[in-house]
A and B are shown apart, each in its own frame.
Chain A
Amino acid sequence: MRLKKKNWLLIPMLLVLGLTVLAGCGQKSVASEDVLARDKANKTVVWGVKSDTRLFGLMDIKTNQIQGFDIDIAKELSHRIYGKDVKIDLVPVTSNTRLPLLKNGNVDALIATMTITPERQKQVDFSDVYFDAGQAILVKKGSPIKSVKDLKAGTKVIGVQGSNSVDNVKKAAPDTRVLQLADYAQAFTALKSGQGDALTTDNGILYGMSSDDPNYVVVGGTFTNEPYGIAVNKGQKPFLKAINKNLKAMRQDGTYHKIEQKWFGKIQGFHQGR
């Protein structure tokens, strides 16, 4: 998910990260241990998750717990791989910090709305797709616009500055006019006040908006393909195999569907993949 972050925390974080790397010098790299065997022995598994993304991983301020689709999948996988009594640690990550945290061994795996891309595959290994994300459009309920193809000349679509979703929608609907606003909150407000006919970005974010205000619905499925995968360090083949095996089993016995329904079931227009 391409959430633009102007994170002033980044500098202290990088500093800490740098120190961690220095401290790790000379030791056997944590990332090169067999995570599966170690976690089995320790009865602990550490997941890197999002804590700021509605529906996928969001910190509940009241209970101080991170909740979401990613979290439930992670918990289910942990129980299936390591047994019911395993201790599950959830470490909040951001799009900027997740890769270094994984590579340093701070987390065993990342389930954090991470799109599988060829560049990332050079750095880490991905599991099978666990969520078919992609760019979609959000419109007011009853709008004549039913898919991205209806964004013809004379229509206006709202996007967010600095995200490649704007380029994607220009390719998919070349005649529409794109209005770029500063962030998602402003973009959604502008859609509500009728400044544009549709809002476009990742479907995950759009579902979050739709669950916030059910008068707005995601239509037409996705027009880009951005599958989310679980990332583990390279060389963790046994762990990756265990994840894939259990992911498949979850899909077959209906657990996956149950979790999916729990988070997305009430959202109109929810539809995975193309």
Chain B
Amino acid sequence: MFEIFQNYGSQLWSGFGYTLLSSLYALIGSLVIGTLFALFEISPIKPPRVIGKIYVEIFRNIPLLVIAMIFYIVVPQYFAKIDGFTAGTIGLTIYTSAFIAETVRAGIESVDVGQMEAARSNGMTYIQAMRFIILPQAIKIVVPPLGNQFINLVKNSSVLAFLAGFDLMYQGNIIASTTFKTTDTYFAVGLLYLIITLPMSYLMRYLEKKWSTEGDEA
């Protein structure tokens, strides 16, 4: 395995960089889009609720590879010239955002209805109540499942390998098929993924612990 790092270190680390970058974009993007669609889903008005439901059900139930392939193959033909990295990252963002929407929705719905009613009867608008009362409580509830989603996201970024997205898995595939040192290569690749996912795992555990001991201050 050290031999792989010695001979192909630069390829592996460049792949690591692309994986990290793609994960970071997708993480931010999917968190924003996911939360937005979660709010749509629980909206008191019907049209956004329907849109939210359709979005989540479509993208949650299609394999990530299919979504990514559509962005790689179909979108460049009719809409915009995007390369493998962009197509993969967009696919990853959309796919993950559907799961995040569901997670956040469940979190919001688990906050007692009385909280919303109390906020509204104190003169807050629906949006204000959401922003200041419900979401801060919901965030604490959703941190552990959200952490799972983010770790899955990093691992799922390996979909870029199928789109020539220059990520870690792509480089791994190439090194494995040129050196035939398949075992060593994929061990090295696995190790590099752990470098990203393990700290995330520990951070999530830390946040979970910290916020559960602080108690309910809302």
Which A positions have Cβ atoms within 8 angstroms of B? 158, 161-162, 179-182, 186, 189-190, 192-195
Contact = CB atoms under 8 A, between A and B. Distances in A.
B43 to A, nearest CB: 37
A161 B177 contact: yes
By secondary structure, the A interface counts as mixed
B74 A195 contact: no
Given A162-B177, A181-B164, A195 B77 contact: no
Interface residues of B, number: 15
Given A161-B173, A193-B72, A180 B164 contact: yes
A195 B83 CA distance: 6
Given A180-B164, A182-B162, A194 B81 contact: yes
A179 B84 contact: yes
A191 to B, nearest CB: 11
By secondary structure, the B interface counts as helix
A45 to B, nearest CB: 37
A108 to B, nearest CB: 33
Contacts of B73: 189-190, 192-193
Interface in B117-166: 162, 164
Contacts of A189: 73
Contacts of B77: 192-194
Nearest to B78: A193
Contacts of A180: 164, 170, 173-174
Given A179-B84, A179-B164, A180-B164, A195 B173 contact: no
Contacts of A186: 162
Nearest to B177: A162
Contact of B76 (A161, A179, A182, A194): A194
Contacts of B170: 180
A182 B72 CA distance: 14
Contact of A190 (B72, B173, B174, B178): B72
Contacts of A192: 73, 77
Interface in B151-202: 162, 164, 170, 173-174, 177-178
A186 B173 CA distance: 16
